[in-house]
Amino acid sequence: MSTKNKGLFYGLFSGFTWALDTVLIGVILAKGIFTSTPEVIFLAPLVSTFFHDLLSSFWMMIYMTIRGELKVPFQKLRTRSGRFVVLGALLGGPIGMTGYVLAVKYLGASLSASFSAVYPAVGAFFAFLLLKDKLSVKNWIGLFISILFIFLLGYTGGDRSQSFVLGFSFILLCVFGWGMECVILAYGMKDDEITPEQALQIRQLVSAVTYGVLILPIFKAYPLVGTVLSSSLIWLIALIALSGTASYVFYYKAIYVIGPTRAMALNITYSAWAILLSFIMLGTPITFKLVFFSIMILAGSIITVANPEELKWSNFMKRRRAA
């Protein structure tokens, strides 16, 4: 397999495994252990995210041990880059991931994945504001397309119930957290003090610790934590965390092999994968409107993060002939 094909595989598989993570989170949150009382229903997304990131951190520790780098991420915490990674972890984990899981709970996996696919465009916007990264006119058009179809999908996506509005608010929080996480991590890793794998280990650990020490005690969620630990459901959560960890690892591999723009464009295909997997695994109906709006969100995000030269039709045709 050529280097280019490996990069394409890494990027697509990162999107597929994150979609699988999304759908399975929805399945977990529908289990009786998480729906027994109104209080448990509220706490379920927080507890499931805590276990998700904690177990993902364990999977990463195993991965880093195999690489002979188990201690390195902890040593990097004292560096300037490490501190920025911690900040990015807080934005992506306790803020972004909590918003995402709560959105899956109140919106469902398909709509949540579609909405959250705009985060690369939001990341590009904040990079323009905070890092002075320039966007071309075409990039701004892409950002507008993504946000337009996000709100069109939100406006026509279903019942105008309180839970729908609540879920839409949570997905906006998710998009902000994930978009800012990309910007902060890019700034933190620009001096090559820390590798993407080391950053991922720090991210998952910081997120899990923040949930365990701060968020769960505030909401008095530890009784539910004990219930989940004593049930067989913990093994399914571990498998879901493995899928999420695999998604991150393949995403970083794609960035290394084919560059961040193509890797991001392939990764956000999780929106389409989630629709397909929801249909296969849960029987969720697929409508033309859902598919079309999702495609437009993806297209806008890709246009936003793409290099202007990559958006020229003549250059695309040259690359096709060369291939």
Q: Which of 197, 198, 229 is nearest to 212 (CA)?
A: 229
* Contacts with 127 (C-beta within 8 Å, 6 or more apart), sequence order: 133, 182, 183, 186
Please check the confidence at residue 228 and state whether its pLDDT lies above 60: yes
Please check the confidence at residue 108 and state whether its pLDDT lies above 70: yes
Please check the confidence at residue 55 and state whether its pLDDT lies above 90: yes
Q: What's the pLDDT score for residue 97?
A: 81
Share of residues in the chain with pLDDT > 90 (%): 20
Where in the chain are the domains? 3-322
pLDDT band at 259 (very low <50, low <70, confident <90, very high): low
DSSP codes joined into one string, 115-127: HHTTHHHHHHHHH
User: How far is residue 154's CA from residue 160's CA, in Å, rounded to a whole number?
Assistant: 10
Q: Higher confidence at residue 300 or residue 70?
A: 70
Please check the confidence at residue 167 and state whether its pLDDT lies above 90: no
Dihedral angle of Cα 60, 62, 68, 73, to the nearest 10 degrees? 30
Mean pLDDT in residue range 101-128: 78
Q: What's the pLDDT score for residue 227?
A: 93
Q: What's the pLDDT score for residue 323?
A: 46
pLDDT band at 54 (very low <50, low <70, confident <90, very high): very high
Q: 22 and 274 in contact (C-beta within 8 Å)? A: yes
Could you give the angle at which helices 38-66 and 196-210 cross, rounded to 10 degrees?
150
Q: Higher confidence at residue 312 or residue 81?
A: 81
Q: What's the pLDDT score for residue 252?
A: 72
Q: Does this model's pTM top 0.75?
A: yes
Q: What's the pLDDT score for residue 267?
A: 79
* Contacts with 274 (C-beta within 8 Å, 6 or more apart), sequence order: 19, 22, 23, 109, 110, 112, 113, 114
Nearest 5°: the CA angle 276, 180, 208 is: 75
End-to-end CA distance of the chain: 15
| Owner of token pair 């999420």 | 244
User: How far is residue 294's CA from residue 276's CA, in Å, rounded to a whole number?
Assistant: 12
Please check the confidence at residue 23 and state whether its pLDDT lies above 50: yes
Mean pLDDT in residue range 148-177: 75
Q: Which of 172, 184, 178, 176 is nearest to 88 (CA)?
A: 184
Q: What's the pLDDT score for residue 315?
A: 55
Q: Which two structure tokens, joined as six digits, stand for 189?
A: 């890793």
Q: Quick one: DSSP state of residue 37?
A: S
User: How far is residue 252's CA from residue 266's CA, in Å, rounded to a whole number?
Assistant: 12
* Contacts with 238 (C-beta within 8 Å, 6 or more apart), sequence order: 55
Q: What's the pLDDT score for residue 155?
A: 59
Share of residues in the chain with pLDDT > 70 (%): 87
CA 126 to chain centre: 17
pLDDT band at 32 (very low <50, low <70, confident <90, very high): confident
Mean pLDDT in residue range 197-205: 87
Q: What's the pLDDT score for residue 159?
A: 47
DSSP codes joined into one string, 229-254: HTSTHHHHHHHHHHHHHHHHHHHHHH
pLDDT band at 261 (very low <50, low <70, confident <90, very high): low
**CA-CA-CA-CA torsion sign (18, 49, 305, 6):** negative
pLDDT band at 320 (very low <50, low <70, confident <90, very high): very low
Q: What's the pLDDT score for residue 88?
A: 86
User: How far is residue 26's CA from residue 278's CA, in Å, rounded to a whole number?
Assistant: 9
Number of residues in the chain: 323
Q: How many CA atoms lie within 13 Å of 101's alpha carbon, on the beta-carbon side? A: 29
Q: What is the mean pLDDT of the chain?
A: 81
Q: Which two structure tokens, joined as six digits, stand for 276?
A: 């397909």
User: How far is residue 275's CA from residue 109's CA, in Å, rounded to a whole number?
Assistant: 8
